[in-house]
Amino acid sequence: MKEKTVSEAIAYRRSVRIYDPEQTIATEKVKLCIEQATLAPTSSNLQLWEFYHITGPEIKKQVALHCYNQPAAQTAQELVIPVVRLDLWQKRIQSNVEFIQSNATTADAEKKIKGALDYYQRIIPKLYSGTAYVKGLIHKIKVTLDGLRKVSYREVSSSDLRVVGHKSTALAAQNFMVSMAALGYDTCPMEGFDSLRLKKVLGLPKKAEISMVIGCGIRKSEGVYGERFRVPFQEVYREL
């Protein structure tokens, strides 16, 4: 099968809810699409995500059960679960610092990276300390007061940072689904699941959050529920 262009893949992608058991997908190709997911843009390049690739029949049954056995989970050949890991912010900051330092091989380069290191060693740790509720509340009060007199970054509370984490992870999930579509594979992102029970199945720590569950397979014709509907483009497009 010829791989689709980006535009073709976007047009082909539908939320497929019933998969054909007679047509198989290659686990290694799904894994490659997950690798492509990790190339998505992410806030401050922190990459606060993990991807759980569910291929075993028993764990697949457990995941489907906690997704209410909806067809997109029950008939999926494989499942991919993007997980938000805000709790890893310190580790991911250090990874960025080490990468920046490893690329500074000359005295001139060291001068150039000073600003980048300051960003990761001073600004970002201060911001992400706000993932703790009380600290985030203090940050929110401060930026609200600062915002009365100057332009201020206001998404600093623990709930704000959760949104940031989920946005980055959702961008990666979209990368994954478009990559799958390019191969002629189908997906369905699901938000209907018991997050607490599913976290236990995956062995996730308390602070990890499941972004979505993505069913994967090859569509049956009845697995696409009707023609694609979008509100008229002029209702959502604004040029200023």
CA distances for 178 relative to 14, 139, 216, angstroms: 10, 37, 12
- pLDDT tens-digit series, residues 141-180: 999 999 999 999 999 999 999 999 999 999 999 999 999 9
Q: Is residue 103 very low, low, confident or very high in pLDDT (cuts 50, 70, 90)?
A: confident
Give the position of tokens 């509100």.
Answer: 231
Place of tokens 């990559």: 179
Closest by Cα among 62, 18, 73, 27 to 180: 27
Quick one: average pLDDT of 22-39?
98
3-state DSSP assignment of residue 206 = coil
CA distance 181 to 98: 35
Question: Where residue 238 falls among pLDDT bands split at 50, 70, 90?
Answer: very high
User: Per residue in 38-55, pLDDT tens?
Assistant: 999 999 999 999 999 999
List, for residues 63-89, the tens digit of each pLDDT value. Answer: 999 999 999 999 999 999 999 999 999
pLDDT in tens, 4-21: 999 999 999 999 999 999
DSSP 128-157: HGGGSHHHHHHHHHHHHHHTTTS------S
pLDDT at position 107 over 70: no
Q: What's the CATH number of domain 6-86+169-225, 3.40.109.10, 3.20.10.10, 1.10.443.10, 3.40.50.300?
A: 3.40.109.10
Average pLDDT, rounded, for the chain: 96
65, 84, 82: which is closest to 187 by C-alpha?
82
Domain with CATH 3.40.109.10 in the chain: 6-86+169-225
